[in-house]
Copies of this chain bind each other. A is one copy, B any other.
Amino acid sequence: MKVINKESRIPLYYQLMDIIIEMIEEGYLSENDQLPSERELCETYSVSRSTVRQAIQELEKEGYIYREHGKGTFVSPEKFKQDLLSFYSFTDEMKKIGKTPSSQVLDFKVIKCSDELAKKMNLASGDEVYMFTRLRLADNEPMMLETSYVPCDRFPGLTKEQLEQNAMYEIFTKKYNAVFTCAEEIFQSVLTREDEAVLLLYRTGLPAMMIERITHENDMIIEYTKGIARGDRFKYHVLLKK
């Protein structure tokens, strides 16, 4: 067993974090396993309660563990690491890591663009767009909630049923011969709202990533999507070059 070196210049809570992280990474503790209690950790590693608390707090903040009120502390499922280098789709990304993606279409309608939406989509106020909200799941676990706006002119005859059965980008490319030229995304850290928490089986006030996406087909914007992703399940990776 690894021990804590009290002579070391490395802070004790940091050493304890290292020990717990190693137990997770080497598989001694698996997803959703309960951690030893604070008291047990104090005794096992001969450190103070405040050292244990600081380590636990830091591990929770870094997403290694989560606390359930009145139940204890557990090992977090690994976050999905979403790479922002290139164009991607939720469906493809989930398949890549061996998860089965699915979508529930919660709402589907045709609306007229408001001024604000028209400006975002390079359309005229009042132009018709499909507006639909999808709950995205991986192995039946809710991950993201997305509301998309898509110009009716470009995708005539789009239906709720199509979106329930196929990935949106697959419909766009196969049925409508769409060619995505680029997409812009904007990421903001937000708190989960009550209505979102209910659908995501998450908690109001916990952190979420709000992602706006604008997809272009040459000069035309063919998709504006605003999504909320569970902050405990996603992290985003980007490679910056000189």
Binding site for B on A (CB under 8 A): 8-10, 14-15, 17-18, 21-22, 57, 61, 63, 79, 81, 84-88, 111-112, 114-116, 180-191, 193, 205-210, 231, 234-242
Chain B residues within an 8 Å CB radius of A57 = 193
Q: Which residues of B contact A114 (CB under 8 A)?
A: 10, 14-15, 17-18
B239 touches A184 (CB 8 A): yes
The distance from the CB of A40 to the nearest CB of chain B, in whole angstroms, is 22
Given the known interface contacts A193-B61, A206-B191, the answer about A22 and B115 at a Cβ–Cβ threshold of 8 Å is yes
Q: Are the CB atoms of A231 and B188 closer together than 8 Å?
A: yes
Top 4 closest pairs, chain A to chain B, by CB? A189-B231, A189-B207, A189-B189, A187-B236
A185 cross-chain contacts in B, Cβ below 8 A = 237-238, 240
24 residue pairs A–B, Cβ–Cβ below 8 Å: A8-B112, A10-B114, A14-B114, A18-B115, A21-B116, A22-B115, A61-B190, A61-B210, A63-B190, A84-B84, A86-B242, A87-B240, A87-B241, A88-B240, A184-B240, A185-B240, A187-B235, A187-B238, A189-B190, A189-B234, A190-B207, A191-B206, A191-B207, A207-B208
Chain B residue nearest to A57 (CB atoms) is B193
- Which of A22, A114, A188, A193 has its CB near the most chain B CB atoms (within 10 A)? A188
Question: In the complex, which residues of chain B have a beta carbon less than 8 angstroms from the beta carbon of A86?
Answer: 240-242
Tell me how far the C-beta of A146 lies from the nearest C-beta in chain B, rounded to whole angstroms: 15
By beta carbon, the residue of chain B nearest A193 is: B61
Counting chain B CB atoms within 10 Å of each CB, the highest count among A17, A22, A186 belongs to A186
8 more A-B residue pairs beyond the given contacts A182-B239, A187-B237, with a C-beta to C-beta distance below 8 A: A8-B112, A18-B116, A84-B84, A84-B238, A87-B240, A182-B241, A186-B236, A188-B236
How long is the Cα–Cα vector from A22 to B125 in the complex, in angstroms?
Answer: 14
Which of chain B's residues have a CB closer than 8 A to the CB of A239? 182-184
In the complex, the chain B residue whose C-beta lies closest to that of A242 is B87
